[in-house]
Amino acid sequence: MINISEVIETNEMISKENLDVRTITLGISLLDCVSDDLSRLNENIYNKITTLAKDLVATGDYIGKSYGVPIVNKRISVTPVSIIGASACRKPGDFVTIAQTLDRAAKEVGVNFIGGYSALVSKAMTTAESLLIDSIPEALASTEKVCSSVNLGSTKTGINMDAVVRMGKVIKQTAVLTKDRDSIGCAKLVVFCNAPDDNPFMAGAFHGVTEGDCVINVGVSGPGVVLHALESVKGADFGTLCETIKKTAFKITRVGQLVALEASSRLGIPFGIVDLSLAPTPAVGDSIADILKSIGLEQPGAPGTTAALALLNDQVKKGGVMASSYVGGLSGAFIPVSEDQGMIDAANAGALSIEKLEAMTCVCSVGLDMIAVPGDTPDSSISGIIADEMAIGMVNAKTTAVRLIPVIGKTVGDTAEFGGLLGYAPIMPVNRFSCEDMMKRGGRIPAPIHSFKN
């Protein structure tokens, strides 16, 4: 039974502490759209998406108004396009037409983004996957709402270093093709190790092949709520701190599950998971960095930062799994630089470097996220940063990712402007020493010894 004090508390979370449902994401299988005729394939994709998702935005808006819970984004994820286009696509340009179809469908139904322009190449790649990877720069430059992801490694298979090297070049090419907008195409492109099939957050969302025909996944977010709760336990010991975060995460997750079940019921589509990630925004008071400072750091990046983030991430997960039996996706704390005003301030103050952010990714939910670097950063250095992050994910059996933005024409001291939830970012320095000879070796880094569990 919910009592009046809990209703009042939830209202305050929404009105004063930036609690929101960050996204309702409709996952759609496109497996039944496959055709060896490219025109027919595009027609099938457009028709299925616009049929299944026609009421998504209206339903999200209705639930938001009915419950008073802001639902910031309505999004779609689809089956990895490298699979769907394998029979029909003979060149990169063929895949680009699918990206443009996805973009047209997303605009028709009114969603913010559509994810799944993806390839899963953790061990090797097919001809179709190779063609899709080559098509990514043009696909992202010629569309507005399409997001792309490539899974480059896993704990079970190791790291596909040939694909890592390819993606360093693809990221740079994407930056060049969108240089008139501060290389924003790279903000819609992410590479993974151990990518989850049910992630509702962009740019990495895709509808896994083990999923059903369609599913509703919800991502909640509440850094401001956690920050407000921690202000009431300043100076308390770590046990009290952990209990406070855990109880707060429980409440946040319950709101997300309520919205997910309501959306599932109204749309007649099965409910999948709640992703309880603490995803910051550029808004004041909606920052992971501010939570870390509340724990006791002068700035994120100070000694103790990784320990503080590990504590936060663990307690968020513990609180969430008590609130819902179906927690999935990424679920933890995100540390994107451009989307978190506190992280931006820390980077500008010199407290936060790419190397420190990399250390923090060992214990958080994702990886190096929304980091702007000089536009003249060598392709091989981008690939080296990706390889480091993939290794962290592979060895620790966790999801890691890289969303790096080499901003063409800008260097350290400049700022890149992306707008909206993507925010803005200071250009951060990249280690000047080369890893080019390592990247030239080719092949695959084998899976770690502890991956053999059978």
Shortest CA distance to 216 belongs to which of 1, 63, 362? Answer: 63
- At residue 292 the predicted structure's pLDDT band, cuts being 50, 70 and 90, is very high
Furthest-apart CA atoms within the chain: distance in Å: 65
Alpha helices in 232-274 (DSSP H): 238-267
Alpha helices in 268-304 (DSSP H): 288-295
Per the CB < 8 A criterion, the answer to whether 287 and 228 are in contact is no
Q: Which amino acid is at 28?
A: I
Per the CB < 8 A criterion, the answer to whether 178 and 140 are in contact is yes
CATH topology of domain 217-451: Anaerobic Ribonucleotide-triphosphate Reductase Large Chain (3.20.70)
Cis peptide before 203 (omega within 30 of 0): yes
DSSP secondary-structure letter at 157? T
Q: What is the pLDDT of residue 7?
A: 45
Contacts for 284 with CB less than 8 Å, ≥ 6 apart: 341
Q: What is the pLDDT of residue 14?
A: 53
Phi, psi of 57 (to 5 degrees): -65, -45
Q: What is the pLDDT of residue 219?
A: 83
Contacts for 442 with CB less than 8 Å, ≥ 6 apart: 161, 162, 165
Region of 397 please: left (phi>0), alpha (psi -120 to 50) or beta.
left
pLDDT at residue 340 above 70? Answer: yes
* DSSP β-bridge partners for residue 114: 76, 146
- The residue-averaged pLDDT of 115-141 equals 96
- The residue-averaged pLDDT of 50-62 equals 93
Distance CA 440, CA 380 (A): 9
Contacts for 265 with CB less than 8 Å, ≥ 6 apart: none
Q: Which amino acid is at 343?
A: M
Distance CA 175, CA 172 (A): 5
Contacts for 100 with CB less than 8 Å, ≥ 6 apart: 139, 142, 143
Per the CB < 8 A criterion, the answer to whether 191 and 324 are in contact is no
Per the CB < 8 A criterion, the answer to whether 350 and 312 are in contact is no
Tokens 């997960």 locate to 317
pLDDT digits (tens, 9 = 90+) for 219-264: 887 788 888 888 888 889 999 999 999 988 888 888 888 888 888 8
Give the helix/strand (H/E) hosting 311: helix 305-323
Shortest CA distance to 273 belongs to which of 319, 322, 216, 330? Answer: 216
pLDDT at residue 425 above 60? Answer: yes
Distance CA 90, CA 447 (A): 32
Q: What is the pLDDT of residue 135?
A: 97
Q: What is the pLDDT of residue 2?
A: 45
Average pLDDT, the chain: 89
Q: Which amino acid is at 338?
A: S
Q: What is the pLDDT of residue 200?
A: 81
- At residue 134 the predicted structure's pLDDT band, cuts being 50, 70 and 90, is very high
Distance CA 348, CA 148 (A): 29
Give the helix/strand (H/E) hosting 27: strand 20-28
Gyration radius of the chain's alpha carbons: 21
Percent of the chain scored above 70 by pLDDT? 95
Per the CB < 8 A criterion, the answer to whether 14 and 64 are in contact is no
Tokens 């139904």 locate to 109
Q: What is the pLDDT of residue 258?
A: 83
Shortest CA distance to 147 belongs to which of 78, 94, 57, 86? Answer: 78
Classify each residue of 193-211 as buried b or exposed e, where b means 16 or more C-beta atoms within 10 Å of its C-beta: bbbbbbbbbbbbbbbbeeb
CA distances from 345 to 256, 295, 303, 350 (A): 30, 17, 17, 9
- The answer regarding whether domain 25-193 maps to CATH 3.40.50.150 reads no
Question: Picking from 64-68, 231-235, 300-304, 408-412, which range would have the lowest pLDDT averaged per residue?
Answer: 64-68
Give the helix/strand (H/E) hosting 162: helix 161-177
pLDDT digits (tens, 9 = 90+) for 376-388: 999 999 999 999 9
- Which part of the chain is CATH 3.20.70.20? 25-193, 217-451
Kindly give the interhelix angle for 288-295 and 305-323, rounded to the nearest 10 degrees. 110
Q: Which amino acid is at 334?
A: F
CA trace torsion 223, 67, 205, 264 (10° rounding): 150
On the 0-12 / 13-18 / 19+ scale of CB atoms within 10 A, 352 is buried
pLDDT at residue 1 above 50? Answer: no
